[in-house]
Amino acid sequence: MTREDTLPTRPMPKAPTTKVDFNSLKAPSGYAPGSKAGGNEESALDETKFDEFMGNDAGVFASTGEYDEDDKEADAVWEQVDNFMDERRREAREKRLKEELERYRAENPKITEQFADLKRKLADVSSEEWEAIPEIGDYTVKKRRVERFAPVPDSLLARAAAEATGAGGSKQAIDPASGLASVGFGGLTTPLGGATSTVSDLTAIGTGRGTVLGLKLDRMADSVSGQTVVDPKGYLTDLKSIKISTDAEISDIKKARHLLKSVIQTNPRHAPGWIAAARLEEVAGKLVDARKLIMQGCELCPNSEDIWLEAARLQTPDNAKALLARGVAQLPESTKLWMAAAKLETDDTAKARVLRKALERIPTSVRLWKAAVELAEEDDARILLSRAVECCPQAVELWLALARLETYENARKVLNNARKAVPTEPAIWITAAKLEEAHGAEQGTVDKIVGRAIKSLSTNGVVIHRDAWIKEAENAERSTPSPHVLTCRAIVKNVCSLGVDAADLEATITADAEESAKRGSVETARALYAQALATFPSQAHIWRAAASLEKSHGTRAQLDELLRRAVTFCPQAEVLWLMAAKEAWLGGDVDGSRAILARAFAANPDSEQIWLAAFKLEFENNEPERARALLAKARENEAASSYPRVWMKSAIVERELGDADKERQLLEEGIRRFPTFEKFYLMLGQLEQRAGNVDGARTAYRNGLARCPNCIPLWRSAARLEEEAGGGVARARALLEQARLRNPHSPELWLAAIRTEQRAGNEKAAEVALAKALQDCPTSGPLWAEAIAAAPRPARRSKATDALKRCDNDPHVVAAVAQLFWADRKVEKARSWFNRAVTLNPDLGDHWAHFYKFECQFGTQEQQAEVSSRCVAAEPHHGERWVRVAKDIKNAHQPTDVVLRRTVQDIDTLPPP
């Protein structure tokens, strides 16, 4: 749409048909000869209306010259069209720019990237090879002319001056070659320096300058030869202490001085004005003037303790003592002045004397009493505190301090008197409970004291804050020299349910217990769990949380007792039975573990978990015959025989015992009963592979893939079989492509394809597969880790950066970055990244193995033992190499630390699976 489209249509004027005689026409009204055409000023062109874009409105566009809403809408439409076309071209333009930039970077790599591998090789250069490198000379020196200048010696200058003046004004000339020839005009010669001037001995000047410098250096040296008395640090400190005031600061100080002068003159009884004026002079470096001002303020404002304290601060210690003596004489009730006077004393006896005088004047000052008690011996402190609680009966700190110094009987009396004097203070009751606990009181007695405290405080109008009391329980647990556990439990028992709705009580108590455990207050958390279990004994999750706490912080006896009670209250909770049996087994009590599992069978006769736990107990204790009998009994049980894992474990036992026919029979029966359980097909295929029956293994895998097409391990095992059985890489590649069609976006299948190409030596095909894999699964940690390992050494860092951007917290990528630091021998960074990797996912055994290998190379024995113990505690079950080692028949029943070391050997000797 253009502007012409918006103009109104007009009929074209018709040509005249008759000839018009203009001379016979009358002139328009108002026409004046010599004026503009028509004589109408409104029809004349107005130059002020001319617009650079629109032109003059008086022309043909006079009726439509204004920029109206239609024009604005038309421009908006065209702008949208332009934006739309630009947006369509933007993606192609940006893609083209990106490709050009990548092509430029590939053709013009940075210098650091080109020489990165050479720089790393410098680390292997020995010192002898380094010394043997020849020095390159600057051969361009011979090609350019070098101008050299030598300074004229002082003796030559002195001799020339002497020759110029030695003849008594006669005409002498200096050798022109020396550059000191006299300038002569008309036979007259002006000698150097004038005929009558005194010739300075330049050598003497140099000698004198050296003498002056030597004197200055001698001042800075003591009698010890070669040693200086200048402390470099102190010298620099002195230089920093020198204040250099700028002009602006001086101007500000003058303005402030003038202002404060008017303040103290207007109101000379205003102490803050005098203090401010004195501090201003102190800042300006005029300490004497500051002292004079503050002394004038003391004379005019003797009742202000702040001005006396400021005056004492500005004076020397001896003068400050005398000044404070005047101050306390003027203000005997000022605690601050007495405390300042005591601080000025260097001897404890003198301080105590000052404080006693102060207490004679101010017996109700708690601050003075506390200062005096801190300086006194134990017996004197007891006497002072006895007097202090009489003078300050509301000071709880003094009551508690006196109770700590008294004997048990006297302490009880002191606390009773304190409770009567301050009936609203909880600390007195808590101290009483701690006192009883410290002297052998039972839990019931301490509970009674805390209960009476809650009741008494509530009667006296004190609001009981539940969180504050739980904090007091934690403080009681952490008290020194010995923790007050009974007091902690009593507080928790009496306050854990205060102000909490019944519907929220369970969640609130368990949440408080978890928070206390995080803060390290184990006894408080244990007491909270005990109250929760007493209120909700049938909640299995509370028992599990309490058992976890005991396992982490308690003893084995406490854990066994807790689990015994747990299975009593929750007999249907299989997890509690399994925890009890496992803890008994770990404690070495195999018979006790069997007894627990027997009771568990009685309570849960059809539980798959308990059947498998009983099998594991016998199997891990090298009792395969008992395990076989137990599983045979389970297969005969109607309920247990419906669990596929029972049949799988039965096959594992037969494999352990070496009975291949029985194992095959069990697996075939398991497939018949559970045709969609993929592990049966995997185990059967592996059995046939061990027996050398490739066709049987291929049939097993084919049947498994027909029933379980989404099982990734089945596809990988079938492809590996084709690769190793002579089918070549082509059949394995075809199988993996078929697997990816059935299971798109699977990093495991892409990784298997990449490894297949690498084992076949097709590095180019492996790179292509890796690139496609990263496009298909851009956030896969294992694929990025493989990309980092497969990249050329100079490009690994950039590849690691891209991987961290895509998946920052993936343990595979973090472990790959740690191996990069390991290769660069950045030990601390590598250790930090390995630690991060095993923390993100402690179930990956491969990362533990790499970490342990790293510590074996760079760490100490303690660090190696720490990694091994952490791995044993984590009990990893996954990882490509870890699974290959752990499921090897030769490594059956081996502990975790042995599997860890054998996985390290696998890393050193074998390629990844």
Mean pLDDT calculated for residue range 582-590: 84
Amino acid letter, 505: L
Is this structure's pTM higher than 0.85?
A: no
Asked if 466 and 495 count as a contact pair (C-beta separation under 8 A), the reply is yes
CATH topology match: 245-403 vs 605-707:
yes
| 3-state helix, strand and coil shares in percent for the chain, rounded to the nearest 5 | 70, 0, 30
Map residue 185 onto helix, strand or coil: strand
The DSSP bridge partners found for residue 189 are 184
pLDDT average, residue stretch 601-625: 85
> How would DSSP label each residue in 286-334?
-HHHHHHHHHHHHHH-TT-HHHHHHHHHHS-HHHHHHHHHHHHHH-TT-
pLDDT of 15 higher than 90: no
Q: CA-CA distance, 47 to 57, in Å (whole number)?
A: 10
**How far is CA 717 from its chain centroid?**
43
Q: Are 524 and 470 in contact (CB under 8 A)?
A: yes
Per-residue pLDDT, 168: 46
Non-local (6+) Cβ contacts of 334 within 8 A are 305, 308, 327, 328
* Percent of the chain topping pLDDT 70: 82
What pLDDT shows up at residue 840? 93
> Which pLDDT band, with edges at 50, 70 and 90, does 116 fall under?
confident
Residue 156 CB neighbour total at 10 angstroms: 14
Q: Which helix (H) or strand (E) holds 189?
A: strand 188-190
Query: pLDDT category, 888, cuts 50, 70, 90?
Result: confident
Rounded Cα distance, 363 and 361, in Å: 6
Q: Which of 300-309, 802-811, 842-851 has the highest mean pLDDT?
A: 842-851
Where do runs of H (alpha helix) occur along 345-391?
348-361, 366-375, 378-391
Distance (Å, whole) CA 489 – CA 284:
62
pLDDT at 103: 86
Q: How confident is the model at residue 615 (pLDDT cuts 50, 70, 90)?
A: confident
Minimal CA–CA distance to 631: which of 622, 621, 648? 648
**What does the alpha-carbon distance between residue 547 and residue 541 come to, in Å, rounded to a whole number?**
10
- Residue 158's alpha-carbon distances to 149, 174, 184, 202, 203, in angstroms, are 20, 12, 21, 7, 9
Q: Choose the most confident range, by mean pLDDT, from 194-198, 577-581, 635-639.
A: 577-581
Average pLDDT, the chain: 82
Q: Which amino acid would we find at residue 729?
A: V
Residue 47's pLDDT is: 52
Measured distance CA(722)–CA(735) in Å, rounded: 9
pLDDT for residue 245: 61
Predicted confidence at residue 58, as pLDDT, reads 44
Q: What's the CA gap between 507 and 529, in Å, rounded?
A: 11
What pairs with residue 228 in β-bridges? 221
Distance CA 334, CA 519 (A): 43
Is the distance from CB of 472 to CB of 453 less than 8 angstroms? Answer: no
Q: How far is CA 271 from CA 258, 262, 274, 307, 338, in A?
A: 17, 14, 5, 6, 19
Q: What pLDDT digit, counting tens, does each position of 462-512 carry?
A: 888 999 999 999 999 998 888 899 999 999 999 988 888 888 999 999 999
pLDDT: which is higher, 557 or 113 = 557
646-657: average pLDDT: 89
* Strand, coil or helix: 483: coil
The answer to whether 203 touches 154, Cβ cutoff 8 Å, is: yes
Residue 238 has pLDDT above 70, yes or no: no
CB 808 within 8 A of CB 802: no
In this predicted structure, what is the pLDDT of residue 522?
A: 92
Residues 6+ apart with CB under 8 A from 439: 408
Least confident of 26-30, 236-240, 345-349, 518-522: 236-240
- What pLDDT is stored for residue 346 in this prediction? 87
pLDDT at 684 over 90: yes
No. of helices (H) and no. of strands (E), the chain: 46, 2
Instruction: Go through the chain and tell me how many residues it has.
Output: 913
CATH class, range 605-707:
mainly alpha
Alpha-carbon separation of residue 825 from 259, 788, 828 (angstroms): 67, 17, 9
Buried/exposed 602-624: b ≥16 CB within 10 Å, e otherwise: eebeebbebbbbbbbbbbeeeeb
Average pLDDT over residues 833-852: 95
For residue 60, name the pLDDT band (cuts at 50, 70, 90): very low
Burial 360-380 (b: 16+ CB within 10 A, else e): eebeebbebbbbbbeebeeee
Identify the bridge partners of residue 878 per DSSP, sorted by sequence position: 844
Query: Residues near 11 by Cβ (< 8 Å), separated by ≥ 6?
Result: none
Residue 911 binned pLDDT confidence (cut-offs 50, 70, 90)? confident
pLDDT one-digit tens code per residue, 798-822: 999 999 999 888 999 999 999 999 9
The domain 245-403 belongs to what CATH superfamily? Answer: Tetratricopeptide repeat domain (1.25.40.10)
Q: List b or e across 716-749, with b for residues whose CB sees 16 or more CB atoms inside 10 angstroms.
A: bbbbbbbbeeebebebbbebbebbbeeeeebbbb
**Domain range annotation of the chain:** 245-403, 605-707, 709-777
pLDDT greater than 80 at residue 225 = no
Average pLDDT over residues 607-633: 86
Residue 782 pLDDT greater than 80, yes or no: yes
Residue 197 binned pLDDT confidence (cut-offs 50, 70, 90): very low
Collapsing DSSP to helix, strand or coil, 9 comes out as: coil
pLDDT at 30: 53
Percent of the chain with pLDDT strictly greater than 90:
37
Picking from 147-161, 314-328, 559-573, which range would have the lowest pLDDT averaged per residue? 147-161
Mean pLDDT of all residues in 728-744: 91
The two tokens of residue 407 are 């004997």
* Beta partners for residue 55, in sequence order: 51
DSSP 8-state assignment for residue 226: T
CA distances from 657 to 4, 79, 651 (A): 99, 83, 10
Asked if residue 119 has pLDDT above 90, the reply is: no
pLDDT band at 627 (very low <50, low <70, confident <90, very high): confident
**Average pLDDT, integer, range 857-865:** 93
- Residue 553 pLDDT exceeds 70: yes
- pLDDT digits 0-9 by tens, 420-475: 899 999 999 999 999 998 888 888 899 999 999 999 988 888 888 999 999 999 99
Predicted confidence band of residue 617 (pLDDT cuts 50, 70, 90)? confident
89 exposure class (CB count in 10 Å sphere: 0-12, 13-18, 19+) = exposed
Q: Each residue of 97-106: pLDDT tens digit?
A: 888 888 888 8
Per residue in 184-196, pLDDT tens? 334 434 444 443 3
SS3 221: strand
Contact at 8 Å (CB) between 734 and 722? no
For residue 232, give Cα distances in angstroms to 213, 228, 238, 239, 381: 20, 10, 10, 11, 48
- What's the pLDDT at 166? 59
Residue-level pLDDT at 827: 93
Q: Find out if CATH 1.25.40 is the number for domain 709-777.
A: yes
Low-confidence winner among 111-125, 582-596, 684-698 (lowest mean pLDDT):
111-125
